[in-house]
Amino acid sequence: MTLYFLDFVLFAIGIYALVAKRHIVKKILGVAIMEYSVNLFLILIGFKKAGVAPILTKDMDLVTFIKTAVDPLPQALVLTSIVIGLGTLALMVSIAIRLYERYGTFDMHEINRLRG
């Protein structure tokens, strides 16, 4: 239970960076931290005490493997989510670079003031 809570504290730090900071790159880092926390949360839910990784080896029979293996489904979905996170990060960073070229600053309020 405390592990879940610590993980959610990480999520809250990401939300704080996204909402309260003015620097665009800091907002992007906040999104990245939130993504870490969500991935870790899904893996924490699928964890089994004294479990083994969901890979069948030769010296293990199927019955004990089914009883002890951790949940493979969240692991497969998180694998997808990590790679998608890289794509969205690249998109966000390219938008930030374009904004900097156009306005000469990373400050969100300054960009809002200069627009139009």
- Looking only at residues 1 through 20 of this chain, which bind another protein when binding is defined by CB under 8 A? 1-10, 12-17, 19-20
Nearest-angstrom CA–CA distance, 48 and 102: 51
- Check residue 107 and report its DSSP letter: B
Nearest distance from C-beta of residue 7 to another protein, angstroms: 6
Nearest-angstrom CA–CA distance, 32 and 69: 30
Nearest-angstrom CA–CA distance, 31 and 46: 23
In the bound state with another protein, the residue whose beta carbon lies nearer, of 30 and 115, is 30
Nearest-angstrom CA–CA distance, 59 and 53: 14
Nearest distance from C-beta of residue 6 to another protein, angstroms: 4
Does position 31 interact with another protein (CB under 8 A)? The reply is no
In the bound state with another protein, the residue whose beta carbon lies nearer, of 62 and 115, is 62
Does position 23 interact with another protein (CB under 8 A)? The reply is yes
Does position 64 interact with another protein (CB under 8 A)? The reply is no
